[in-house]
Amino acid sequence: MSSGGEIEADFVVVGCGVAGLRVAIELGSAGARVLVLAKSSLTDSATEWAQGGIAAALSDDDEVSLHVEDTLRAGDGLCDPAAVHVLVEEGPKYILELIEWGTQFDRAGSKLAFTREAAHSRSRVLHAHGDSTGKEIARALLAKARTLSGILLRPHAVTTELLTAGGCVTGLRFLDENSKELMDVTARAVTLATGGLGQVYPETTNPAVATGDGMAIAYESGAVLSDLEFIQFHPTALAVKGAPRFLLSEALRGEGAVLRNADLERFMKKHSEAGELAPRDVVSRAIVAEMQRTRSDFVYLDLTHLKDEYVRKRFPGIFATCQSYGVDITSDLVPVRPAAHYVMGGVRTDLEGRTSLPGLYAAGETACTGVHGANRLASNSLLEGLVFGARAGQAIIKDCKFSSRKKPKWPASRAAVEKPGAKKSAAPANPPSAEAQQLQKVRAIVWKDAGIIRNGRDLKEGLDALAALEPAQSAEPSRSARELRHIWQLAQLIVRSALAREESRGGHYRGDFPFRDDEKFRKHSLVTRGATVTFR
């Protein structure tokens, strides 16, 4: 593996989703030279896959206080109220900014159109092109970033480690997948915005790039991680043989879709007064209970009572994707089952993106601000990336005492870097067979022992089994080897955190401790490299 030398930037951002782009735009607008690294293509992120929408108290019948209450209630006693207030109060401002930058949200006439999702007391979820909200937001943010001469977007750059000096983060190292060279980047600050860790699980709605890289890299460097036991399993992922676990947005249930078991009976009212609009963790456990009771591998999502034309127009992406797998959502019962979707925990930060390591910041799903508590309220994730991405960018400028460059320019052509000729596909290379087998084993353990319903015996067995699967150090760095190691590390942290939390709360459910224990566990779990899990 050859060395490609050094790159000097004012700041570097790892990740090209809503959070990473919003950080970069804030920094680039201040006149900084900002290097943005994407592991795959510039449009391969969880943001692109986000269907349902982005929540904000912007409608005439809504109030910020109601959005705060709904978020706190969904978080099951563990939200940081200060973080929630920041999210909800500042959210409308940044959404209006998105609109100024060209984001085309759906409208009813001249007014913005809102829908309702589970656990929201009002219809406050904005959407775009029916069910392509994240893709539209990412498009607008990427277009805005490209107007700023100081931002250099670099795809196919696999971040391998952080660089430190004197206890401070001073840059990072990445593998250029086109040239196969290792590159060092020196910068005043690094921001990790690599998204979530859904690929730790074999059943996930997340894209292939969601391997928890930012969290694992921060952990390896000694940063504090928090609340990794809280995994949100989306209740309704497509369960068709041979199909990926494609997400069927909660907005479907918001528009009137219902759940039926294998006997075609509606069952959600037995589990929650809110029925199909109960919080995601409640719906997921209810589905698992019905699957076990009826000895079925899935339940059904039923939209057949809704008007065909409306469903096709409101959910064009979902309709087309399901149809490609032989399911017509307007006339067929759609087989669904839960899949790993979102992690409430991550790299612990303050309300401005600062981590426990000087010079290191985190934003979006990679970060844990405390805003989601034990269970994220639907459609608050894009909002979090937007709001806290902007705040992180502002904090970096202030902390680094950065003064604007008049004309920040990069020596290389941006177009040449953004569209390299060597790699045509955003898809990752298949890992070697030994890596693939090991990855399959790790995922199977986490699904079995730290899935939707957990218990102490299984968690202990899972931890022992994972310890025996430590990946061998690769002679040469590669994307597949790094992803395997990151998934293995995070799998252990999820299991360790879940074992330490002897209660049930939000996305964490222990069959041997089925109730909430506020006296002992109304606290956040904290873990650093080489330390036991603690609560504070």
Q: Are 501 and 510 in contact (CB under 8 A)?
A: yes
- Which CA distances in Å does 172 have to 52, 159, 168, 399, 465? 34, 7, 12, 19, 32
- DSSP class of 57: S
What percent of the chain is helix, strand and coil (3-state, nearest 5)? Answer: 35, 20, 45
The residue among 228, 223, 232 whose CA lies nearest residue 494 is: 228
Distance in angstroms (rounded) separating the CA atoms of residues 63 and 121? 10
Q: H helices within 5-132, ranges in order?
A: 18-29, 46-49, 64-74, 81-100
The DSSP secondary structure of 472-493, one letter per residue, reads PPPSS--HHHHHHHHHHHHHHH
Tokens 């963790």 correspond to: 281
* Alpha carbon distances (Å) from 262 to 72, 258, 274, 335: 34, 13, 21, 10
| Positive or negative torsion for Cα 118, 232, 386, 147 | negative
How do strand 151-154 and strand 34-37 relate by DSSP bridges?
A: parallel
**Residue of 33, 124, 139, 280 marked catalytic:** 280
Encoded amino acid at 158, one letter: V
Which residue's entry shows tokens 């497509």? Answer: 238
- What is residue 275's DSSP assignment? G
Could you tell me if 493 and 228 are in contact, meaning their C-beta atoms sit under 8 angstroms apart? Answer: yes
What is the layout of strands, in order, in the sheet containing 525-527? 367-368, 346-348, 225-226, 525-527, 534-535
Task: List the structure tokens of 500.
Answer: 């330490």
Distances (CA, A) of 447 to 201, 296, 461: 6, 18, 13
Q: Are 444 and 452 in contact (CB under 8 A)?
A: no
| Tokens describing residue 189 | 């600050």
Which whole-number Å values give the CA distances from 142 to 130, 190, 472, in the listed order?
A: 20, 19, 38
Q: Which helix (H) or strand (E) holds 395?
A: helix 381-399
Per the annotation, the verdict on 154 as an active-site residue is: no
Q: Check: CB of residue 153 under 8 Å from CB of residue 42.
A: yes
Residues with catalytic function: 280
